[in-house]
Structure 1
């Protein structure tokens, strides 16, 4: 005790010197209590009925009586508790950091000095925080200058101007407004012709007509789709190789849903419901179900808790503006959100999982599918994790689903939803059976092809054994599949891929030249036959890099086989893989020279895996593919080359066609074993379809609770046993072939495999006698793995027949008119992206740390207006962009100095803030002004490596942690972890990117060429004026025109000295490139 007293006296002495003679409560004590004590003894929570926010509350004490005795620290319980040993000490362990010796000494001295503090009112009940109150439409204020206001937005802002003596700027010039409007609404700048049309329109509604037209423009959905993709954390899948670790494959379908929903002005409340519960409200509608990509995007392979934490956190932040994640380990330190609130929200999502369902026309889920959410375990319990540690669940009680109590409403009432059969058993969708039967038919065709190939091989072997030389016959003429002489476009047959494809003088021309262009292709819309002959006449007109042209077959989104002739490489080659990572087998090429501007006839014959290539009718290559064949389409390809295709023909290859073999014929025994194996593959292929059909009929009867289920089940079981026996016989035949073909070192292993195959066949034969009642259903869907161990387990369903309805209840509560947060949060996001600064500064936190904003009445008016007009975002956009406030100038040169000093942060919107284009808008604007932007909406993601050659809008490129386009990333692209508001940086690399990137240079040349074509024989002065209007949407002033004219003349003179072929066009291209690097190009004024 003596030692403690001595230490306390020493502490007081130190404190006296450190803190001075008089302790100031407001600056020294209150901040300390706020950081250490208020979370448990404040307005949010009053443990032991004790509050410490004011002196009066401290003197009132709690359940244990008075805690502060003015003038006596030794008699004050608060000092005893903050100085106690571990079990009694406050704050408790893990509830916050303990007070230091100096901090304890400070509180002791303050109490000993009489615990002096000013009289303060008790803090308000946090549940009465402004954002937790339902928005009510305030009365539009009257203002002195009523003529200034275009609509109620202006009235609210004008009232603030008058109240604070602020003088707003004038309305911006027409060309500035037009560019601002285009870039804000569709993310593309207006063209020069659109500028002139707008400037010439003197009608009072000229501006409103542009607004109407742009809100109907398809680019609106793409522009605002990218904004909401930021907020909703869009990310394509990424992982290791084919292993999905984050997000889901085919998540682009959710992106397309966002774009389409915005373009059709789907109500925001409906969008919220579809994203959270599309699988519950419309389980049979894939167009709605794809919206649940919002949830699928949160998938994380390695930890289910991390996955659900992200779901709870970002659902709360994005849709409610609440940092509910801060209550995962303990009650929220600032907001009236308890730890139980957090786990009640988690319980809403606890049953849900994600899976990939099939889409019509595709049976390979890796190639195409529908990523979606569903309730996989309706009865999965939720436990509160002690201190947020998933290894310490409190299993004494199961947490029921619910919403934060501070926002609790009676309409949160989850009701289980009985799902239709096709929702819990996707294999029962009619197209699923049709697609798998089509695949089975192709398998039969492939088996027949294998039989024919094996017969030909046998015949060739017999001829060699008889001493006859093998002479391949010319392949007989087969049935035409396609013939095109390219006299005119044929869009029903062909689909243009990357490149500059056009029809000229009876030729199909790919006009883009240069190295590093990767593969540019023109693709058939239909798949080609498995065995086929294809011929094309082509001319390479320019070559750089690889300088190649030819065919790709079996072409899919991920793989193909490539046959080409190379001018630069002096060879004809067969390759396989995916551009640009092809495999080039050494025995699949023929070295020979090829020249530019010379026409060649390239012919390929494909029979199963055997490929023959001929140039101008002369055999060049015979090669046996080392990879499996796939159903795919045929491409005409140019690789680092401009090419003219004169004609193309595709024919079926007749079964009796004899091709040049890639290898010497095998022995008679091996050839005979190969033929038997091929023949056994045919019944296995033929019996697959009946097994599929019988299983589908039985499953459908079960789903419909048909009385004939037993008979259908028996039929399905018998069909399954027959198919299994045929597969077993095929396996035996294949094993016998392996024995025949094996060398002495591998024969023992091959014979062991053969014995196993024969035993399996005997078992399959026995089951034919008693087929039982088991069969394999048509499994077409795949659930995401719950961790790496789960990856090895079957995850194909069928799934739960009931969905909990929890997510529907949550979604309807969020989208309710009674929810105080949802409309405010949405309005704030939309306002931010129009004005560059939000009404509420913290985009994702509307809690107690966020004070009522200066424009709270405007926020509430807009929130109510939004809801009362059907949650229409287009209505809100129109209201905002037609306001005078939106149309104000952004230049501060004309600003009133007193206004700038009174409101330096523009809280009252007396001017328009200049904004830097987002990354996607920079790239899209380059393409748009050059006239090459591909306006196609939606579709699979585009590889970032193609950003210089594929001219789709930037939001269609892969966007993930590991893979994104370089130019787009340079200008502050969206962070996939969290991006409620884009950052805006200015770094030298951005200037270098626009100055040196291949895309910027290429687009500069195209813009200049377009201008020269439109202007005709124009003077340099006319070209300069047109270039300024095209790139910056404003004519040059006299000084600018003079400087540019001098630059063009100087550049021309320099290039002429260097004997450049086109000095004048190149000088003009340089001018355009300079303007694209002007600050006003990347700035939205």
Structure 2
């Protein structure tokens, strides 16, 4: 029997539920008729620097003209001179070599490159040629694709509770690498990712490019599919706004933006471009090569089947004629017994070729999540009251953000016989219009950011009022106009920046104490090159490269190298099935499998971002796990063993081995005191190991090929030298 208090509580609960039901019912009826008051865009809204029309500013005059190499330097030097300061001295050729190779390829310089840097006097043409060679290398796309994949929130799983694998997600990663290596103009790079299927629905590569829109996290098993769709579209629209325009449009999902002139209607108009009826449907994503392979297989099979049929008819006709039985029928075995030796050879060739082809199997059609519209009709889009997917507000139609759309461009209607709505193509074309003030500014700033550690404005995905103003606004606009007028070429933009005197400065603090203090107060003046730590991918790839074990094989599904045993013990079954071919474990970091709910330990320690959201800037922490990983992890120790083994095989004695070790790891020749210091360390380690008693059974880290040989202790001592050099700041930082 219920107590009095229980009855009161039950009654109150019933009343509240009843009131809630009435309120929801009333709101559901009223929502579609709710009038949304949208503030008009006024001239004052466009006073902000980011919304100003893009014009090429004049190049400023400076006193120290001889210091300048490109127009970039004039803009930078003008501010330095205005502050009463001076730029730093030029960096040495060896420093520039290492800086360039890591910035452009994510890899350390080779021994041959280091040797050339020492042998050759400073030469502008030689430097320019080095930049060109690095930009032309395959490693360039592999390095710079990672910067874009951070923005694209790329992963090969869905995320959330089940974190299901997306088997062909890697194809988008490979598309980005190939596009950057081919120097696909950035305007085309944008268009293909927004509307590749509407540009050419028959081109598999353009379909794969639209994977950008679908890279975000997803909950396919959620009970409410309307909620899934709502969240997915919101994330998609928010990402497009921040990545291409630098606008935080996602802040207007539930209400007008609190600071920027972006209304809730603006957000849902932008979202309307992506209201795809088959948003979660998979489509064929075969590349041209895969399609040709499938077509070749089917063609060969058809030809062999026809040849087999024609051959049987010819043999049967001969047998009938010889037997005088015009209606004789025979099966294959009976027919084969009546074949001549020559006919048997032909028959065997045809049947064996057909059997071999059937055994190979028809190449499968890979399926993946890409955008592909099949008709000009599209789902009706509504504003969602307070961002609630259940509360439909007024109908919204595709339109560009008003504060940026100064030319008043409208979305064209698709032709009557069109196979697509062409809404996304309209958006893509507008994003790269000459009168759009944001797209070029935002991308130029991102490129600058990855070369200098910080952009010309420090909030690369937020140009709004809550973001940072540019430190060099005229330089930003000059670069943006130059970028557009040079055909949106990223490689030309890279070269323009990398050949500047600004980029070629030393990172050493200025000897003048007053200037040094000013630099510490305001580093944005660019009076010297900023010291930066390498990211986790570059550290891993550098260890593999200097050890001589880096596998340069490109492309394909993400690989899963072994994980530490203590981490494996916490995983679910098949959460990280290790790739069978151990050679693949040494491939470049960009090809490692990206699971949303499990980051590779080295990358997690060195601040690789969460892939659940677009990441414009990686944080740079200094924490104990970083030092512990480089000093104690199985990965670092194994790379040190590989490095030592390679040095022993390719050196003439201990001194030469130490010399090569420093040269390969640090990109420069060792100084006299360094060489003697590390040789002394090597000798001490060797003595310690030689003194080990026979009873000491503790394992020592030694390359497998030198275990139980007369070089075992030497190899183990050299391994410790290699490990020590991996732990130098100079190995992990870029100056």
Give the TM-score range, shorter chain: 0.7 to 0.9
Identify the residue that residue 1054 of structure 1 maps to in structure 2. 688
> Is this contact kept in 2: 1:249–1:371, CA < 8 A?
no
| Corresponding residue for residue 390 of structure 1 | 389
Pick aligned residue for 1:262 from 155, 180, 189? 180
Q: Give 2:559's aligned residue.
A: 942
Q: CA deviation at 1:898?
A: 3.0
Work out whether residues 237 and 271 of structure 2, in 8 Å CA contact, stay in contact via their aligned partners in 1. yes
The residue that corresponds to 2:369 in the other structure is 371
Tell me the secondary structure at the aligned position of residue 812 of structure 1: helix
Could you state the TM-score of these two structures normalised by the residue count of structure 1?
0.51
The yes-or-no answer on 1:1022 pairing with 2:639 is no
Q: 2:594 aligns with which of 936, 944, 959?
A: 959
CA distance in 2, matches of 1:237, 1:849: 33
Deviation by residue 1:297-346 (Cα, 9 ceiling, x = unmatched): 13622311110110011100000000111112111111111111111111
Q: Where does 1:648-687 land on structure 2 (aligned, <5 Å)?
A: none
Contact 2:510 2:516 in 1 (8 A): no
SS in 2 for 1:125: helix
- Verify: 1:271 aligned to 2:189, yes or no: yes
Partner of 2:525: 908
Q: Distance in 2 between matches of 1:1053 and 1:262?
A: 51
2:634 alignment partner in structure 1 = 998
For the pair shown, the structure with the greater C-alpha radius of gyration is 1
1:329 aligns with 2:249: no
What displacement does 1:889 show? 1.1
Q: How far off is 1:172 after superposition?
A: 0.9
1:365 CA drift (Å)? 11
CA 1:892–1:898 in 2, change beyond 3 Å: closer, same or farther? closer
2:240 to 315, 340, 354: 315
Where does residue 819 of structure 1 map in the other structure?
A: 436
**C-alpha distance in 1 between matches for 2:598 and 2:561:** 7
Q: Deviations over 1:803-826 (max 9, x none)?
A: 211100001100111110000100
Q: Secondary structure at the match of 1:398?
A: strand
Q: Contact 1:218–1:263 at 8 Å: present in 2 too?
A: yes
Are residues 1:1031 and 2:661 paired?
A: no
Matched residues in 1 for 2:281 and 2:272: separation?
Answer: 20
Residues 839-858 of structure 1 show CA distances to partners (whole Å, capped at 9, x for unaligned) of 01111110123353220000
Cα gap change, 1:274/1:201 in structure 2, threshold over 3 Å: closer, same or farther?
same
> CA distance change for structure 1 residues 399 and 364 in 2, over 3 Å: closer, same or farther?
farther
Q: Does residue 989 of the first structure (1) align with residue 639 of the second (2)?
A: no
Matched, 1:401 2:398: yes
Q: Deviations over 1:492-540 (max 9, x none)?
A: xxxxxxxxxxxxxxxxxxxxxxxxxxxxxxxxxxxxxxxxxxxxxxxxx
Q: Which residue of 2 aligns with 1:134?
A: 53
- Write the mapping of 1:513-912 to structure 2, written as runs, cut at 5 A: 802-850=419-467, 852-892=469-509, 894=511, 896-901=513-518, 904-912=521-529
Q: Taking structure 1 as reference, are residues 967 and 877 closer, same or farther at Cα in structure 2, changes over 3 Å only? A: same
Summarize deviations over 1:682-708 as a string: whole Å, max 9, x none.
xxxxxxxxxxxxxxxxxxxxxxxxxxx
**CA deviation string 1:1030-1060 (max 9, x = no partner):** 1112333333333222211111111112267
Which residue in 1 is equivalent to 2:87? 168
Conservation of the 8 A alpha-carbon contact between 1:418 and 1:803: no
Distance 2:80 2:416 in 1: 57
1:227 — aligned with what?
147
For 2:364 and 2:385, locate their aligned partners in 1 and report how far apart those are by CA, in whole Å.
40
Instruction: Kindly state the Cα deviation for residue 191 of structure 1 after the two structures are TM-superposed.
Output: 1.5
In the TM superposition, what is the alpha-carbon distance from 1:373 to its structure 2 partner? Answer: 0.9
Aligned residue in 2 for 1:971: 606
**What is the aligned partner in structure 1 of residue 723 from structure 2?**
1073
8 Å contact from structure 2 (residues 265, 383) kept in 1: yes
Deviation (angstroms), 1:390: 1.9
Structure 1 Cα separation of the partners of residues 542 and 603 of structure 2: 12
Q: Kindly tell me the number of residue pairs found equivalent between the two proteins.
A: 580
**What is aligned with 1:1064?**
714
Deviation at 1:988, TM superposition (A): 1.1
User: Would you say the 8 A contact 1:383–1:399 is kept in 2?
Assistant: yes
Question: Would the alpha carbon gap of residues 309 and 199 (structure 1) be closer, same or farther in structure 2, given more than 3 Å must change?
Answer: same
Match of 2:134 in 1: 214
Deviations 1:999-1044 (A, max 9, x none): 222221222222232223x2x3333222111111233333333322
- The CA deviation string for residues 897-950 of structure 1, in whole angstroms up to 9 with x for no partner, is 335326623111111111111111111111111222111221111125358861
2:491 aligns to what SS in structure 1?
helix
Q: Which has the higher helix share?
A: 2
Whole-angstrom CA distance in 2 between matches of 1:1026 and 1:996: 23
Given candidates 254, 261, 267, the residue that maps to 1:342 is: 267
Q: TM-score with structure 2 length normalisation?
A: 0.75
Structure 1: distance between partners of 2:716 and 2:148: 41
Alpha-carbon separation, structure 1, partners of 2:364 and 2:170: 14
| C-alpha deviation, 1:952, in angstroms | 1.1
> Which residue matches 1:152?
71
Could you tell me how far 1:128 is from its partner in structure 2?
A: 2.1
Cα distance in structure 2, aligned partners of 1:418 and 1:279:
18
Looking at structure 2, the residues matched to 904 and 341 of structure 1 have their Cα atoms a distance apart, in angstroms, of 40
Q: Could you tell me which of 1001, 1010, 1013 is aligned with 2:649?
A: 1013
What are the equivalent positions in structure 2 for 1:16-35 lying under 5 Å apart?
A: none
Deviation of 1:878 after TM superposition, in Å, equals: 0.3
Alignment partners' CA distance in 2, 1:987 and 1:368: 42
Partner residue in 2 for 1:107: none
Checking the alignment, whether the CA contact within 8 Å between 1:944 and 1:964 is kept in structure 2 is no
3-state SS, counterpart of residue 722 of structure 2: helix
Q: Distance in 2 between matches of 1:871 and 1:174?
A: 30
Aligned pairs (5 A) from 1:173-252: 173-202=92-121, 203-238=123-158, 248-252=166-170
Q: Which runs of 5+ in 2 are unaligned?
A: 1-37, 223-227, 295-360, 563-577, 695-707
Residues 896 and 274 of structure 1, relative CA distance in 2, 3 Å threshold: farther
In structure 2, C-alpha distance between the alignment counterparts of 1:988 and 1:958, rounded to whole Å: 25
- Provide the C-alpha distance between the structure 1 equivalents of 2:605 and 2:370, rounded to a whole number of angstroms: 32
Pair 1:417–1:356, CA change in 2 (3 A) = farther
Quick one: higher RCO (CA 8 Å, sep 6+), 1 or 2?
2
Deviation string 1:273-320 (CA, Å, 9 cap, x unpaired) is 000000100100001110001012136223111101100111000000
Using the alignment, how far apart are the partners of 1:413 and 1:958 within structure 2? 39
Any idea what the Cα deviations from partners look like across 1:702-745, whole Å, max 9, x if unmatched?
xxxxxxxxxxxxxxxxxxxxxxxxxxxxxxxxxxxxxxxxxxxx
Aligned-pair CA distance for 1:215: 0.5
